[in-house]
Structure 1
Amino acid sequence: MNKLLILLAAALLLVWASCQRPSTPAAASEPAPTPAGQVLRQYRRHLTALDSAVAGLRRAVATGQPAARQRQAFLAARLAWKRVELLAEYYSPSTAKALNGPALGEVEEFDQQQRVRAPEGLQVLETYFYPALYAPDRRPEVLEQLALVRSSLLGLRHAATSLTLTDRHVFDAARLEVFRVMTLGIPGFDTPASPGAVAEAAAALATVQATVAPYRAGLPAPTATRLDSLFRATLGYLHHHPDAARFDRLTFLARYAHPLSQQLWATQQALGIAAFPETRALRADAPSLFAPDVFEPAAFAPSTTERPTPAQVALGRQLFFDPVLSGNGGRSCASCHQPARAFTDGQARSVAFGGQGAVARNAPTLLNAALQRTQFHDGRVSFLEDQAAAVLANPTEMHGSMAAAARLLTRSPAYRAAFARAFDTAPAAPVQEAQLKTALATYLRSLVRLNSPFDRYLRGEATALSPAAQRGANVFLGKAKCATCHFLPLFNGTVPPGFERTENEVLGTLAAPNRLRLDADPGRAGTTGIRWQEHAFKTPTLRNIALTAPYMHQGTYRTLAEVVEFYNQGGGAGRGLAVPNQTLPPDPLHLTPREKQDLLAFLHALTDTTGLHQETPRRLPSFPAEMARLNQRPVGGRY
C-alpha cells in the first residue's frame, strides 16, 4: 500500500514538474499570427481595456469622486469605446448601438402596446455628466446605466471569441470606420453634449492605423510611405486642434480624411485585396465618400440583382412626362416635379387634381430621392415603385391607376415597342403594371446628382466654395449641428456609413411662420398609429435646397432664412410649444447674423443641376389614328 502511494506521489510530481517546464520550444514552433490574426488580437485587448475603463467610471461614480474626476473617467471610457468601434460596428451592430446609440426613446412599429423603449449606453451616460453633473440622488440611475453598458460589453467580448477575420474584412471595416469618423464623429453625432469629438476621432483613426499596420510589410515602398504620411498628417492635425468648438471640420475633411480614405483604397488595391462584390448602398469599391459614383441606387431597389438598362431609363423618362397616365389625361408626374425647380413645383402644397384645393403635403425634390430607404414625407413606403403606384392612384394627385394606364399604353404601338425594348419581350406583348412601375422607378433612380460646388471642393477644387460658403460649412458641421440629422454626403436622414436606415425627426413645425401653433399633420403616426411618432417626418435631403422653396412638409416657410431661424430657436419646443417627443434639441443655437449668412451661402453651394435642361423629352410616343386626340397632349401635361 505504501509502495502504491509512493508511486502515485511520484507520478503526480512528474505531472507537476512537466507543467512547470518552459514552453518556449512549443511556442517557437507556432506560426506567427497572420495580419488579420494580429488585428483580432488587438481588438480583444481593446475590449478588455474598454471593460476596465467602464469599471473605472463605475468606481468614480459609486465613490462620489469630484465632478472633474468623474468626467475624466467618462471621457476615458468614450476613448476606449472608439478603439473597439471599428470591429464592433462591423460585426455586432446591434450591440454597438446599445453601447453607443442616440439617447432617444424608440417604439417598435410592430409593438401594439406602443411601449417606449428607453435608450441606453454611453450617449445616455453623457447626459449625466454634461452640460452639468447629475444630482446626487440620481446616482443609482447612473450606476444602472453602467450596469447595462457592462452587460452589452460582455456580449461583445463573447462574440469576439468566435470571430474569424479575413484581409478583405479588415480593410472593408477600416475604410468604413474612416467614413464613420467623417460623417458621425466629427459632426458630433455621438458626442452631442461632451467636448470629446476631436479626441475621439483621433482615437478611432489611430485604431485604423494600427489595424492596417500589420499589412505594411507587403506594400510597395511608395504606397507605404504615402499611407504613413497621411496618417501622420491627419492625426497631427487632430492633436494640434483639440477644441471641438473651434475645429475646422471642412479643412479636416478636404485635406486629411478624404485623401486618407482614398489612400486606404489604394493600399488595399496594392495588396491585391479585392472589394466585396455584393450590391451595397455605399459601393465597396468606391475610392472615397465623395466620389461621383460612390452610391449604387440599385441597392435601394426591391431587387439588387437586376441592373437598370438605358432603354428602361429612357422609357421611364417618357412616362414621367406623359399626362396620359393620369385619370383625365392632363397631369403628368412632371406637373408637380419640374426639372427647372429641382423636380419640385414652387408651391407650398401642390394644386390638387382638377384644380380644386391642394394636396396634403409639399412636393419634395426627386433629385437623389433614390438614395433613401423610405419614400413620402411620412416614409410610408420603401421603394420608388410603390411610390409611383401610390401617386398615380391618389385621387388628389393623378387620380388614375397602374392597371388603367397599362391598358391604355398597350394601345400605342410606339409604347409597346418601347416596352419590348426595355424588358426584352415580344413586340406585341401587352404592357404590364409591373413593367410600368419599374420603368418609372428606374428613371427616378437615374436622377442622382452629386456634383455640387461642395463635392468639387472636397475633391480638390479649391475655388469651388466661396469663403462665406467655407465658413458656412463649418457652421453646418459644427455649431448649428445640422449634420447630426442631415448626414454627409447625402445631406438627408439616411444613416452612414451603412446607409441602411432613413431617420424620421420631430421638429415641432409651426402651422404658420408667425403663429405659435403646432402643425396638425400627424406625420408618421398617421401611418403607424404610434403616438410617439406624432409629427415625425422623414429627414429630407438638403441638396438643391436653394431651388426647392417653400420648405417643410407643408411649405410653412418661404425662404431658407426663415428655416435657419426656426432651427436657431430650437424648433417648436424652443419656441415654447409642448412637443414632448421632439427629437430636435430645443436649446437655441445662438447663431450670429454672420453665421446665419454663411450657413445660407453653404446651403446654396449644395446645388447641382447638371443636365436638368435635358430631362424633358421633345415628344411623346404616338397613339393610333382612332386615338388621335391623345397625340396633341403636351409634354409634361398641364398644371
Structure 2
Amino acid sequence: MKRALLLLTSALVLIWASCQRTGPSAATSEPAPTPAGQVLGQYHRHVAQFDSVVAVLQRAVATGQPAARQRRAFLVARLAWKRVELLAEYYSPSTAKALNGPALGEVEEFDQQQRVRAPEGLQVLETYFYPALYAPARRPEVLEQLALVHSSLLSLRHAADGLTLTDRHVFDAARLEVFRVMTLGLTGFDTPASPGAVAEAAAALTTVQATVAPYQRRLPAPAARRLAARFGAALGYLRRHPDAARFDRLTFLARYAEPLSRQLWATQQALGIPAFPETRALRADAPSLFAPEAFEPAAFAPSTTARPVLAQVALGRQLFFDPVLSGNSSRSCASCHQPARAFTDGQARSVAFGGRGAVARNAPTLLNAALQRTQFHDGRVSFLEDQAAAVLANPTEMHGSMAAAARLLTRSPAYRAAFARAFAAAPAAPVQEAQLKAALAAYLRSLVRLNSPFDQYLRGDTTALGPAAQRGANVFLGKAKCATCHFLPLFNGTVPPGFERTENEVLGTLAAPNRLRLDADPGRAGATGIQWQAHAFKTPTLRNISLTAPYMHQGTYRTLAEVVEFYNQGGGAGRGLTVPNQTLPPDPLHLTPREKQDLIVFLHSLTDTTGLRRETPRQLPTFPTELAHLNQRPVGGRY
C-alpha cells in the first residue's frame, strides 16, 4: 500500500509540474491568448496526455508486464483522467460517462427488448486490477476495455476541437469540479476498489487551480493571495494525508473544500463574471455546496420559469391538512405525513383508506422531497404535481380525485377566494384541477430543510458535531461507502454536481429482518416492466432519518441499528440470497461496534425540523350551509 501511495504521489507531482507550464513562450511574437483560450489549450494538452498514458497502459497489459507496473500504469491513467474531467464532464457528459461511469449494467427504459448494456471505462478496468490482478486468461477482456476507452477518447478529442470557452463557462465548470471532488471523488464513488481517491482529488483540484490561474493577474493582489492560499491549503492537506483508508474527509470538507468553494465564488465576483441566470437545482450563484439557499426547488418542477408565490404555498398548506380532498372527507395528506414525524406516520405501512388493511409501501418523508427527480419509492412519476394527483386517486390512500375535489372546493366561497388570490383568477372562477395540483406541489416545495447540525458544522460551526458524530461522518463518507449512493449534500440519490437524475438501487431487501427471503415487491420493474430493474427502489434521503422509522420501502427494519447491520453484511446478496442485479456491493463492510454506533450518531445529526410545529393550520376554510357538516372536519383529518 505504501509503495502504491508513493507512486501515486510521484505521478501527481509530475502532473502538477506540467500544469504550471501553461503560459505562452517568451520567444513567440503571437498575441497572448485570452484566459479562456489558455484554459482551452490546457484542455487539449490534457486530452492528448490522457491518450498517451492509456497507450502506455495498453502496452503494459498486452506485453504482460509485472502486476506492479500494470497497476501503476492504471493509476497514472486515472490521474490523467482527473486532469480532463473538469471540461469533459461539463461539455461531453455522455463521453465522460463512457470513460468513467459506474461498473454496472443498465437497461434503457425505452428499449423494448430489455437489453442489458454492459458498462465500460476506467471503473470497469479497475475491477481487473483491484483488489487482485486479473488472471492471464482474461487479458483479452482488459484489452477490449482499453480499446473502448481509446474509442471514447477519440470522441472526446473531436468534441474538444469544436469548443469555444467563455469566462463564465470556465468558472462555472471549475466550481462544479470542486463540488464533484467533494461529493463523488473523495467518497470513492469512482474509485470503489483502488487506493487513489485522495491522489485523484489532488489531481482534480490541481487542474481547477491551473484553470483559474490565467485570471489571477486580473485580481487585486490581496484577492489573488487569498485564492492561492485556499488552493495551497487544500492541496497541502491532500498531499500530507494520501491514505484514503485513513483520510479525514469531514475535516477536509469543512476546513478546506467549503472555504475554497466560497473563495472561488468570491474570485468570480471580483472579476465581474456573472453566474448563469437559468434555474438550476444547485443554484449557479450558490457560494458553496452547503451554503444556505444553495438549492432551488423550482428546478425540479414541470416549469422552471415561474416560482410559486407565497399565496400558493399558504393555500397548499391548507389543502394538505384538509380531509375534504379525500373520498370520505375524513383523511388528509397529513394523516399519513405528520409534521411531528418529519412528515411520516411511524407505521411500517400506513393504514389503508377506511381502515381496511394497509397501503402497499411505507410513507416516506416529505421534507426535501422537492429535491429529487422522481417521486414514490419506484420513481414512477417525475413531479410533485403528478404525485399529488396519484395519491388522491389511489383507492387505498385518499380514494378521491382531483376533479371531484376541485368541484367540492368550488362550492366554498372561502376556498374560491383563496384560489383567486393564489392564481390571479376571477373571484367567482371555479377551482381548476391544475390549480389544485399546483398549490399542493407549491406547499411541498416549501418543505426544504437543510440546516441540520451537520450543515452547520460544514458552514464553520465546529461545536455543531460532537466527537462521535464526527467519527461517524468519516465512516459514512469512507469505510461504509454510504455517500456513494446517498450523495452529499442532499443525502438522497440525486446525483451531484448537476443533480439531473435520481438513482434507483437494488439492495436485496429482506421480507422480514430475520427471514432469509427476498421481499416480493417488484419496485421499479413494476412501473417500467423491465425485469433488470426488479426490486430497484429510489434512493431516499437520509435527512431526518432519526424521525422516520421504520425503514425501507416496506418498513422492514424498526431501528437504525438493524439497517446499519443489513448494509454491513452486504445486503441480500451478502446474506446469501440470489440477487443477480443487486447494485449494492455484496462484500461485508467489516464495521466495528464503535463504528456502527458512531455512524448512527452521525445519522442523528442530519435532523432539521425547523418550524415544523407551526406547519399545522389552526383552522380550515368553511363551506356554505348546505355543506355545513364539512365545517366540523378536524384539521389534519383522522387516521
Q: So what's the TM-score if we normalise by structure 2? A: 0.96
Letter in 1 for 2:90: Y
**CA shift digits 1:16-41 (9 cap, x unpaired):** xxxxxxxx99x955321000000000
Provide the residue aligned with 1:7 in structure 2. Answer: none
Within-5 A mapping of 1:101-250: 101-250=101-250
Which SS does the other structure have where 2:37 is aligned? Answer: helix
Query: Unpaired runs of 5+ in structure 2?
Result: 1-23
For 1:347 and 1:177, locate their aligned partners in 2 and report how far apart those are by CA, in whole Å: 41
Letter in 2 for 1:265: W
Provide the residue aligned with 1:569 in structure 2. Answer: 569
Letter in 2 for 1:162: G
Which SS does the other structure have where 1:239 is aligned? Answer: helix
Which SS does the other structure have where 1:437 is aligned? Answer: helix
Letter in 2 for 1:159: A
Provide the residue aligned with 1:369 in structure 2. Answer: 369
Provide the residue aligned with 2:309 in structure 1. Answer: 309
For 1:159 and 1:442, locate their aligned partners in 2 and report how far apart those are by CA, in whole Å: 40
For 2:522 and 2:221, locate their aligned partners in 1 and report how far apart those are by CA, in whole Å: 60
Provide the residue aligned with 1:10 in structure 2. Answer: none
For 1:162 and 1:557, locate their aligned partners in 2 and report how far apart those are by CA, in whole Å: 53
Provide the residue aligned with 1:589 in structure 2. Answer: 589
For 1:477 and 1:132, locate their aligned partners in 2 and report how far apart those are by CA, in whole Å: 24
Provide the residue aligned with 2:354 in structure 1. Answer: 354
Letter in 2 for 1:178: V
For 2:292 and 2:501, locate their aligned partners in 1 and report how far apart those are by CA, in whole Å: 22
Within-5 A mapping of 1:33-112: 33-112=33-112
Provide the residue aligned with 1:508 in structure 2. Answer: 508
Provide the residue aligned with 2:545 in structure 1. Answer: 545
Within-5 A mapping of 1:216-615: 216-615=216-615
Q: State the Cα distance separating 1:155 from its structure 2 match.
A: 0.5
For 2:83 and 2:303, locate their aligned partners in 1 and report how far apart those are by CA, in whole Å: 36
Which SS does the other structure have where 1:79 is aligned? Answer: helix
For 2:223 and 2:508, locate their aligned partners in 1 and report how far apart those are by CA, in whole Å: 51
For 2:181 and 2:441, locate their aligned partners in 1 and report how far apart those are by CA, in whole Å: 33
For 2:626 and 2:444, locate their aligned partners in 1 and report how far apart those are by CA, in whole Å: 32
Letter in 2 for 1:380: R
For 1:552 and 1:236, locate their aligned partners in 2 and report how far apart those are by CA, in whole Å: 41
Q: State the Cα distance separating 1:471 from its structure 2 match.
A: 0.1
**CA shift digits 1:304-332 (9 cap, x unpaired):** 00111000000000000000000000000
For 1:416 and 1:28, locate their aligned partners in 2 and report how far apart those are by CA, in whole Å: 74
For 2:387 and 2:474, locate their aligned partners in 1 and report how far apart those are by CA, in whole Å: 35
Provide the residue aligned with 2:4 in structure 1. Answer: none
Letter in 1 for 2:573: A
Q: State the Cα distance separating 1:220 from its structure 2 match.
A: 1.3
For 1:440 and 1:584, locate their aligned partners in 2 and report how far apart those are by CA, in whole Å: 35
For 1:558 and 1:28, locate their aligned partners in 2 and report how far apart those are by CA, in whole Å: 71
Q: State the Cα distance separating 1:626 from its structure 2 match.
A: 1.6
For 1:100 and 1:123, locate their aligned partners in 2 and report how far apart those are by CA, in whole Å: 6
For 2:244 and 2:600, locate their aligned partners in 1 and report how far apart those are by CA, in whole Å: 22
Which SS does the other structure have where 1:505 is aligned? Answer: strand
Within-5 A mapping of 1:12-51: 30-51=30-51
Q: Summarize the Cα distance change of 1:441–1:506 in structure 2 as closer, same or farther, 3 Å threshold.
A: same
Which SS does the other structure have where 2:487 is aligned? Answer: coil
For 1:327 and 1:609, locate their aligned partners in 2 and report how far apart those are by CA, in whole Å: 31
Q: Percent identity?
A: 89
**CA shift digits 1:561-590 (9 cap, x unpaired):** 000000000000000000000000000000
**CA shift digits 1:158-215 (9 cap, x unpaired):** 1111100000000000000000000000000000000000000000000000000000
For 1:55 and 1:106, locate their aligned partners in 2 and report how far apart those are by CA, in whole Å: 28
For 2:28 and 2:293, locate their aligned partners in 1 and report how far apart those are by CA, in whole Å: 49
Provide the residue aligned with 1:16 in structure 2. Answer: none
Letter in 1 for 2:161: T
For 2:283 and 2:93, locate their aligned partners in 1 and report how far apart those are by CA, in whole Å: 19
For 1:624 and 1:390, locate their aligned partners in 2 and report how far apart those are by CA, in whole Å: 29
Q: State the Cα distance separating 1:147 from its structure 2 match.
A: 0.2
Letter in 2 for 1:510: L
Q: State the Cα distance separating 1:221 from its structure 2 match.
A: 1.4
Letter in 2 for 1:466: G
Which SS does the other structure have where 2:106 is aligned? Answer: coil
How many pairs are equivalent?
Answer: 616
Which SS does the other structure have where 1:537 is aligned? Answer: strand
Which SS does the other structure have where 1:542 is aligned? Answer: coil
Letter in 1 for 2:361: R
For 1:391 and 1:71, locate their aligned partners in 2 and report how far apart those are by CA, in whole Å: 53
For 1:162 and 1:521, locate their aligned partners in 2 and report how far apart those are by CA, in whole Å: 48
For 1:326 and 1:544, locate their aligned partners in 2 and report how far apart those are by CA, in whole Å: 28
Provide the residue aligned with 1:625 in structure 2. Answer: 625
Letter in 2 for 1:137: A
For 1:112 and 1:276, locate their aligned partners in 2 and report how far apart those are by CA, in whole Å: 38
For 1:333 and 1:611, locate their aligned partners in 2 and report how far apart those are by CA, in whole Å: 18
Q: Which has the larger radius of gyration?
A: 1
Letter in 2 for 1:72: R
For 1:419 and 1:31, locate their aligned partners in 2 and report how far apart those are by CA, in whole Å: 62
Q: State the Cα distance separating 1:292 from its structure 2 match.
A: 1.4
Letter in 2 for 1:620: L
**How large is the Cα RMSD of the aligned pairs?**
1.1
For 2:470 and 2:287, locate their aligned partners in 1 and report how far apart those are by CA, in whole Å: 24
Post-superposition, which runs of at least 4 consecutive aligned residues in structure 1 deviate over 6 A? none
For 1:292 and 1:611, locate their aligned partners in 2 and report how far apart those are by CA, in whole Å: 16
Letter in 1 for 2:450: L
**CA shift digits 1:249-276 (9 cap, x unpaired):** 0000000000000000000000000000
For 1:626 and 1:50, locate their aligned partners in 2 and report how far apart those are by CA, in whole Å: 76
Provide the residue aligned with 1:11 in structure 2. Answer: none
**CA shift digits 1:385-431 (9 cap, x unpaired):** 00000000000000000000000000000000000000000000000
For 2:287 and 2:320, locate their aligned partners in 1 and report how far apart those are by CA, in whole Å: 33
For 2:522 and 2:307, locate their aligned partners in 1 and report how far apart those are by CA, in whole Å: 37
For 1:383 and 1:71, locate their aligned partners in 2 and report how far apart those are by CA, in whole Å: 45
**CA shift digits 1:83-138 (9 cap, x unpaired):** 00000000000000000000000000011110000000000000000000000000
Q: State the Cα distance separating 1:222 from its structure 2 match.
A: 1.4
For 1:119 and 1:89, locate their aligned partners in 2 and report how far apart those are by CA, in whole Å: 18
For 1:434 and 1:425, locate their aligned partners in 2 and report how far apart those are by CA, in whole Å: 13
For 1:46 and 1:288, locate their aligned partners in 2 and report how far apart those are by CA, in whole Å: 27
Q: State the Cα distance separating 1:303 from its structure 2 match.
A: 0.2
